Amino acid sequence: MKAMFVFHRSQQGLSLVELMIALVLGTLLTLGVIQVYIASSGTYQLTDSISRLQENARFGASVLKREIAEAGGTGCRLPGAQLDDLRRPAQVTEPLVESVVGWDFANTAIGDTVTLTGAVGNNWLGNGAPGLDLNVAAPLVDNQVKVAQSDILIAQGSFALDLGGNAVAGGPGNVVVVAPGPSTVPAGTVLEMVSGDCDQGLRFITAAAANAAAIAVAGAALNTPPANIDVPYNNADAQLYEFRSTAFYVGPDAANNFEPTLFRLPLAAGRIPEALIPGVESMQVLYGEGPDRNGAIAYVPATLVNDWDQVRSVRIALLLRSEDGVTDTPAARTFNMLGTAVTTPVDRRARLLTTTTITLRNRLE
């Protein structure tokens, strides 16, 4: 039998040099993947933050437009018609202006330069008209904690009232009877009753609950003439409207780590501020005045408004910020907010400046 011999080649592993080269290449590849991941993650975080800022800006613009565009509404009450206010002085929580009114923070006018600090403040300026100091005209707003270097705006007017399918039937003394009832109007609501010919009106606060069959004046036998709503036009021809006054301002949100936030505050007893948009560092407002109802011919800050009844539109700029740590390097940025140069703190936040012009429909033809 013939012998068979099998030869095996000796098997060798990687040399030390080859192993080191493989380790270096693997490390470089891993570092490249990590860098791509970090860059992609940072880009995603920045893009996501900007998207949220844009979404907040759109929401804020829609709320502001809805509230401000309808300011100055008087229902069917004709211009110059008699309007008697039955509220006690302490119950009047809004400025005695028909549509909009505002206040500028000191040294934030057109041409001024501002560096945002995030501090709270109390130095707001009106146009100097009697009764338009903030603490006199809007004490509820004056009592709120507000961020400095930002403006304040109040919009108000009479709006259609939903009586839940009921109709005004008229009533004696201090009540307005609605049929078939209940009225569905919560106690504390400020109402206006306007005569059938739209030539007279009363403004009062209802004391009756929403499930009551009638609407009663808060505080019977008031001293302001007429003493109650026992007037000839308290009948089925009368029309009821809700009078609303709403303030917008920037303040620290205690429920959100004191983040600067755009707040909405209904100026009525028992109402509290509502946080609208987080991250709003500043709001700057200009008012478009015009001598007639054809529209605005010039935009001015609150301190330069000659006649609030001639304001035809409002221009609002909002500066929004994201959470910190979004951008690559810390930096301060300067924005032109309606003619005011606003510089931000040095940080790594993304920011968005949005500007909107809102026409007061009830102040145009």
Domain ranges of the chain: 50-363
> Do the Cβ atoms of 130 and 357 come closer than 8 Å?
no
Compare 222 and 310 and report the one with higher pLDDT: 310
Residue 281 one-letter amino acid: E
CB-based burial label for 189 (10 Å; 0-12, 13-18, 19+): buried
> Do the Cβ atoms of 273 and 251 come closer than 8 Å?
yes
pLDDT digits (tens, 9 = 90+) for 260-290: 999 999 988 778 999 999 999 999 999 999 9
The region, left, alpha or beta by phi > 0 then psi within -120 to 50, assigned to residue 165 is: left
Q: Are strands 200-205 and 82-85 parallel, antiparallel or unpaired?
A: parallel
Query: What is 66-95 written as a DSSP string?
Result: HHHHTTT-BTTPPTT-EEEE-S-GGG--S-
Distances (CA, A) of 165 to 81, 191, 206: 28, 17, 19
Phi first, then psi, for residue 280 (nearest 5°) are: -85, 115
pLDDT digits (tens, 9 = 90+) for 2-12: 555 555 555 56
* The two structure tokens encoding residue 18: 């080859």
Helix residue spans in 188-315 (DSSP H)? none
pLDDT digits (tens, 9 = 90+) for 306-315: 889 899 999 9
What pLDDT does 193 receive?
A: 86
Residue 226 has pLDDT above 50, yes or no: no
CB-based burial label for 12 (10 Å; 0-12, 13-18, 19+): exposed
Going 206 to 140 to 267 to 193, the CA torsion angle's sign is positive
pLDDT digits (tens, 9 = 90+) for 290-305: 988 788 899 999 999 9
